[in-house]
Amino acid sequence: MAGVIVDAAAAAAALGLLGGGMVYGSVWPTSQIFGRALIAGSDPREVALTFDDGPNDAATGELLEVLARHGVRATFFVMGDFALQRPEIVRLVHGAGHLIGNHTMSHPKLSMEPAARVRQELTGCNAVIEDITGAKVRYFRPPFGARRPVVLRIAREMGLTPVLWNVTGYDWKPIGAARILGKLEAGMARNQRRGCSSNLLMHDGGHRGMGANRMDTVRAVDRLLTAHPGDGTRFVTVDRWVEAAG
Ligand SMILES: [Zn+2]
């Protein structure tokens, strides 16, 4: 899979997990020890906006409006529990042409869970999304980026491609829209220097409960899209990089 780009140091630093031993292997997003995951393609002009932990009635609708205004499609890794609570929002996301991926039912750290629970979390979330949208789910992002061989094996058995990221928006912290935008722009610039695409991790929800305030994320996305209207940046969904990799 030529679309996989190694950006280990940035990703590990992003997670604050520059530890040793098993921690390295199971959560370092670009570690190849426990199998491969899709991160980004090789065209530095391509940028994927990805949003985890929704649907969220406090932000997803506003985010959809911003994306529609700029004519950009994004990737949403939704939680099954929230999708069950707000199926109408998932329907809107799908109807607007965005890519929807699996982010488990309840957001456990899968590297700590037995195989049966991993299977249950992935199967359950797929079923919820497919029931709402009628479209097969093909992508999966492990909560916290945590994974181990059995997690990736189960995901692939189910036809799911694991997806990580190489730019972190830090938008789960109360740092404000300007600093979120700064993190995104810095990460995109770094990837351009390295000659790879950018896969931006953001959140339209909060895994601890429905209603998380993510309006700073929405504002940061609006400013990002306003800043890159026609300068060669192409906003893509993550499936672009699987196709590109052949
Ligand atoms: Zn998450």
Residue-level pLDDT at 37: 86
Amino acid in position 241: W
Options 98, 103, 107, 203, the catalytic residue: 203
Q: Which of 110, 109, 99, 117 is nearest to 49 (CA)?
A: 99
pTM score = 0.86
For helices 115-133 and 149-157, give the axis angle rounded to 10 degrees.
40
Could you say which DSSP state residue 233 is in?
-
Number of H helices, E strands in the chain: 10, 8
Amino acid in position 236: V
- Ligand 1 centre from 204 Cα, in Å? 10
| Two structure tokens written together for 189 | 């610039």
How far does CA 99 lie from the centroid of its chain? 10
How far is Cα 110 from Cα 145, in angstroms, rounded to an integer? 9
- Ligand 1 centre from 231 Cα, in Å? 31
Pairing of strands 46-54, 99-102: unpaired
Pairing of strands 234-236, 139-140: unpaired
How far is Cα 224 from Cα 221, in angstroms, rounded to an integer? 5
Beta bridge mates, 167? 200
How far does CA 86 lie from the centroid of its chain? 19
Beta bridge mates, 99? 75
- Ligand 1 centre from 97 Cα, in Å? 22
- Ligand 1 centre from 52 Cα, in Å? 5
| Two structure tokens written together for 128 | 């919820």
pLDDT in tens, the chain (246 residues): 334 433 433 444 344 333 333 333 344 444 444 557 899 999 999 999 999 999 999 999 999 999 999 999 999 999 999 999 999 999 999 999 999 999 999 999 998 899 999 999 999 999 999 999 999 999 999 999 887 888 988 999 999 999 999 999 999 999 999 999 999 999 999 999 999 999 999 999 999 999 999 999 999 999 999 999 877 899 999 999 986 554
Residue-level pLDDT at 146: 80
CB within 8 Å of 21: residues ≥ 6 apart: none
- Ligand 1 centre from 155 Cα, in Å? 16
- Ligand 1 centre from 15 Cα, in Å? 12
Residue-level pLDDT at 244: 52
Options 52, 53, 216, 222, the catalytic residue: 52
Q: 52 an active-site residue?
A: yes
- Ligand 1 centre from 230 Cα, in Å? 31
Residue-level pLDDT at 36: 75
Q: 94 an active-site residue?
A: no
- Ligand 1 centre from 42 Cα, in Å? 25
End-to-end CA distance of the chain: 7
How far is Cα 173 from Cα 63, in angstroms, rounded to an integer? 18
For 206, phi then psi, to 5°, come to -130, 130
Residue-level pLDDT at 180: 98
Residue with tokens 């950006």: 7
